């Protein structure tokens, strides 16, 4: 079957630019010097990053299915602490945002660094599809679009471009084959230390990209999610939903909203790019949900390479192991509930294209090489000043072979405020027993099920 890229070349000669897959010879690194998902298998020379040995697939003895995931590393002690006093010693492994936080709050924020554990583990069918993708998966439209033949695995285990790496981040395996049902909270803490619950939401997220076993899924849709507000009372019953497509140039994001006052579903094309997310108190933008979301057309993405960085990892305590108020301090997350580990990351720098509009002029992403999820993200305003910084923590869902990363902290240096998003401490997180039928996931069906009309 001729690919969309090949057909476009036959018909137009030069109209569509695509990024080719790697050669069979280079793909042979997978499973040898590289893991099957493209990370360097060996540890580092200093021994501070261990070799990959298959990830965490065994639950600790105190794990009870159906309850929160127990912390397999809860008895570990920090190896050392990074503070404002010794930040220069570790600066080459810290983002601009981390350094800014250490220097801005020298008396209260620090980073406790723990032993590194490469816990990421994937199902066999995802790994097989990922290896297949190394020589078969391609982008087109200058990297903005992805072939449907890539479904089922990480698209680019040996990425060559920034766009390919951002596709890996967008399509990282985090919801399993059935999707995630959750109840999560968004919090914003202002410059005076006042804590506001901006939303409590019941939500569902799934990736049809990994649901190749379901015949009713549209192969062009890679991800979709919806949520209903349960708190605060003034916003209870509001609903939003998003569907994203592999070729966003042909099929842009389809977003919708529902208001109990108007009692109807409306399309919401503004749920994209640098529009602030109302349910998150406006502290984040739609295209920085979970670090990045949406279409890649407004920035040039450049893959810089790999680098060792301190990132939030195996954050079971922050995800599941405390009471919600324990995580807050006046200016930042309570560092006592955080866990930092040294890992290799992919570095991608995004620069605003000439003629494009956005509140940011530049962004830099640091994505864990084992999961493409856990990591760091900095953004600069149009004057070149550091505007926001994000760190997104991950945990391994060890009973389901899912590297899960969605909970994050975001800091706004202009307003001296921060947020904690996708917080499950006051709600729940569960992976669906089976995926819902496609017909139940259209906006009208969702609204009818979860609201009284």
pLDDT band at 261 (very low <50, low <70, confident <90, very high): confident
Q: Is residue 231 part of a domain?
A: no
> Domain limits at 336?
19-198+296-432
Cis peptide before 232 (omega within 30 of 0): yes
Quick one: DSSP state of residue 5? H
CA 192 vs CA 196, 232, 315, 330, 416: distances in Å: 12, 21, 27, 7, 9
pLDDT at 453 over 80: no
- What is the maximum span of the chain, computed from C-alpha positions, in angstroms? 64
Residue 354 or 18, more confident: 354
Dist CA 431 CA 176 (whole Å): 7
Q: What is the pLDDT of residues 387-429, one digit of tens each?
A: 999 999 999 999 999 999 999 999 999 999 999 999 999 999 9
CB 334 within 8 A of CB 108: no
Report the alpha-carbon distance of residue 28 to residue 144 in Å, rounded: 27
Q: CA separation (Å) from 262 to 113, 190, 311, 452?
A: 50, 31, 44, 13
- Number of C-beta neighbours around residue 387 at 10 A: 22
The mean pLDDT of 148-170, rounded to a whole number, is 98
What is the secondary structure of 206-267 as a DSSP string?
E-GGG-TT-TTS-TTEEEEEEEEEEESGGGTT-EEEEEEES-TTTS--EEEEEETTTTEEEE
Q: What is the pLDDT of residue 406?
A: 97
Instruction: Look at residue 11 and tell me if it is in a domain.
Output: no
Contact 408, 394 (CB under 8 A): no
- Is 69 inside any structural domain? yes
pLDDT averaged over the chain? 94
**Residue 281 predicted with pLDDT over 60:** yes
Using a pLDDT cut of 70, give the percent of the chain over it: 95
Q: For residue range 33-50, what is the model confidence (pLDDT) as tens digits? A: 999 999 999 999 999 999
Residue 450: predicted pLDDT: 80
Mean pLDDT computed over 20-24: 86
Q: Is the pLDDT of residue 2 over 90?
A: no
Confidence tier at 21 by pLDDT (50, 70, 90): confident
What total number of domains does the chain contain?
1
Percent with pLDDT over 90 in the chain: 89
Q: For 316, which DSSP code?
A: H
Please give the Cα distance from 396 to 54 (Å, whole number). 12
Q: Does 207 reside within a domain?
A: no
Confidence of residue 19 (pLDDT cuts 50, 70, 90): low
Report the pLDDT value the prediction gives residue 328, as an integer from 0 to 100. 98
Q: What is the pLDDT of residues 205-219, one digit of tens each?
A: 999 999 999 999 999
DSSP, res 147? -
Q: Is residue 25 part of a domain?
A: yes
Inside any domain, residue 329: yes
**For residues 404 and 251, what is the distance between their CA atoms, to the nearest angstrom?**
28
In angstroms, the CA 421 to CA 337 distance is 15
- Look at residue 20 in the predicted model and tell me its pLDDT: 63
In a domain, 9, yes or no: no
Q: For residue 330, what are the CA distances in angstroms to 192, 247, 333, 416? A: 7, 43, 8, 10
Name the pLDDT band for 122 (thresholds 50, 70, 90).
Answer: very high
pLDDT higher than 90, residue 6? no
Q: Which two tokens stand for residue 182?
A: 């959750």
- Count CB neighbours of 396 within 10 A: 26
Distance CA(434)–CA(177), nearest Å, equals 8
Tell me what pLDDT residue 449 has: 83
Q: What are the Cα distances from residue 185, in Å, to 201, 208, 286, 322?
A: 6, 25, 17, 15
Banded pLDDT at 451 (limits 50, 70, 90): confident
Query: Residue 268 domain-assigned?
Result: no
**Per-state percent for the chain, helix, strand, coil, to nearest 5:** 20, 35, 45
Average pLDDT estimate for 15-34: 83
Mind listing the pLDDT tens digit for each residue in 433-450? 999 999 998 899 999 888
- Phi (first) and psi of residue 375, to 5 degrees: 165, -160
In this prediction, residues 231-251 reach a mean pLDDT of 94
Residue 254, beta-bridge partner list: 243
Residue 15 has pLDDT above 90, yes or no: no
Q: Which two tokens stand for residue 33?
A: 């010097």
SS3 of residue 98 by DSSP? helix
> Which among 229, 167, 214 has a CA at the least distance from the CA of 372?
167
Token code pair at residue 215: 């015949």
Instruction: Measure the CA–CA gap between 180 and 203, rounded to whole angstroms.
Output: 8
Are 31 and 40 within 8 A, CB to CB? no
């Amino acid at each position: 079957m001729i690919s969309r890229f090949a057909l476009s070349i036959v018909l137009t000669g030069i109209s569509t630019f695509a990024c080719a897959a790697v050669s069979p010879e280079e793909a042979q690194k997978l499973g040898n010097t590289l893991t099957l998902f493209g990370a360097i298998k060996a540890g580092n020379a200093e021994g501070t990053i261990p070799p990959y040995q298959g990830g965490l697939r065994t639950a600790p003895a105190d794990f009870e299915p159906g309850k929160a995931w127990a912390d397999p590393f809860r008895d570990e002690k920090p190896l050392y602490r990074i503070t404002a006093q010794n930040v220069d010693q570790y600066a080459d492994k810290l983002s601009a945002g981390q350094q800014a936080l250490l220097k801005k709050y020298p008396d209260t924020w620090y980073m406790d660094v723990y032993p590194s554990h490469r816990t990421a583990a994937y199902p066999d069918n995802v790994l097989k599809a990922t290896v297949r993708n190394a020589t078969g998966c391609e982008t087109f439209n200058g990297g903005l679009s992805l072939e449907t033949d890539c479904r089922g695995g990480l698209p680019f285990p040996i990425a060559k471009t920034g766009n390919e790496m951002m596709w890996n981040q967008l399509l990282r395996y985090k919801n399993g084959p059935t999707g995630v049902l959750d109840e999560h909270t968004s919090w914003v803490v202002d410059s005076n230390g006042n804590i506001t619950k901006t939303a409590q939401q019941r939500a569902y997220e799934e990736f049809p990209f990994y649901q190749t076993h379901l015949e009713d899924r549209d192969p062009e849709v890679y991800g979709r999610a919806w949520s209903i507000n349960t708190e605060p009372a003034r916003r209870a019953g509001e609903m939003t939903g998003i569907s994203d497509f592999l070729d966003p140039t042909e099929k842009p994001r389809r977003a919708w909203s529902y208001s109990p006052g108007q009692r109807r579903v409306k399309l919401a094309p503004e749920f994209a790019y640098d529009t602030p997310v109302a349910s998150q108190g406006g502290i984040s933008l739609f295209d920085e949900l979970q670090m990045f979301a949406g279409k890649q057309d407004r920035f040039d993405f450049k893959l810089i390479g790999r680098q060792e960085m301190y990132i939030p990892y195996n954050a079971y305590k922050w995800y599941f192991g405390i009471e919600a108020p324990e995580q807050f301090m006046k200016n930042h997350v309570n560092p006592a509930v955080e866990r930092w580990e040294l890992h290799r990351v992919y570095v991608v720098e995004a620069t605003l294209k000439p003629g494009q509009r956005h509140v940011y002029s530049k962004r830099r992403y640091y994505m864990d090489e084992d999961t493409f999820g856990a990591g760091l993200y900095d953004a600069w305003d149009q004057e070149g000043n550091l505007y926001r910084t994000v760190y997104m923590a991950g945990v391994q869902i060890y009973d389901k072979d899912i590297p899960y990363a969605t909970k994050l902290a975001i800091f706004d240096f202009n307003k001296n405020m921060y947020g904690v998003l996708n917080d499950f401490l006051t709600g729940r997180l569960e992976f669906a027993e089976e995926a819902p039928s496609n017909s139940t996931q259209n906006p009208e069906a969702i609204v009818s099920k979860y609201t009284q009309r």
